Amino acid sequence: MDLSEIHNFLRGQRKRAEESDLPLKCIRVIDLGAVVAAPFAATLLGDFGAEVIKIEPTEVPDAIRYWARVEKEMEPFWLVASRNKLPITLNLKHPHGRKILAQLVEQSDILFENMRPGTLDRLGFSSQELWEINKGLIIGRISGYGQTGPYRNKPGFGTLAEAMSGYT
């Protein structure tokens, strides 16, 4: 899907949203998350009318696509976690993929990501660089152990972070 096809789809989505009574109908969200935390936050905004663009890497799709596969074509977790979203793939290691992401950031209101801290920075999308593209962008960075501190670079999921914190 090229950028013009994405824009055509989103124009149609925006038109339908504007005709609805949902409170977030004029909000556009970029979901760069994987598995649960960031994608779920974006899904909830989509439930309230936001236009959500789910971006997956071209090399490896979101792991939740394969959780509890019931049949060859049926992935219930993926269907629930990705409802109300336009899924696209971008290679953010390639200049063309980064250009498309920058164009989407320019036209979006919120960006969620749950990569290890510093990953987006290395791709040229630090918070400062994102705000240079869109000064009003709200950035949600979700990681197992936060963006700073001694464990910031460790991979982590919700249950592991809960165990480390003593939350049961």
Residue 15 has what pLDDT?
65
Residue 37 CA from chain centroid, whole number: 10
- The set of residues, in sequence order, having a beta carbon less than 8 Å from that of 83 and lying 6+ positions away, is 43, 46, 47
Which value, in Å, is the radius of gyration of the alpha carbons in the chain? 16
Residue 127 has what pLDDT?
96
| pLDDT per residue of the chain (168 residues) written in tens, 0 to 9 | 556 666 666 666 666 666 778 999 899 999 999 888 899 999 999 999 999 999 999 988 887 777 766 666 667 777 788 888 998 999 999 999 999 999 999 999 999 999 889 999 999 999 999 999 999 999 999 888 888 889 888 887 777 777 887 876
Q: Tell how strand 51-57 and strand 138-141 pair up.
A: unpaired
**Tokens in use for 99?**
């250009």
Contact between residue 112 and residue 29 where contact means Cβ atoms under 8 Å apart: yes
Residue 9 has what pLDDT?
67
**Tokens in use for 65?**
């696509």
Q: What domains can be seen in the chain, in order of their start residue? A: 23-149 (3.40.50.10540)
**Tokens in use for 129?**
């660089």
Cα 120 from Cα 139, distance rounded (Å): 12
Residue 76 has what pLDDT?
76
Q: What is the DSSP letter of 70?
A: -
Residue 143 has what pLDDT?
85
Residue 103 has what pLDDT?
97
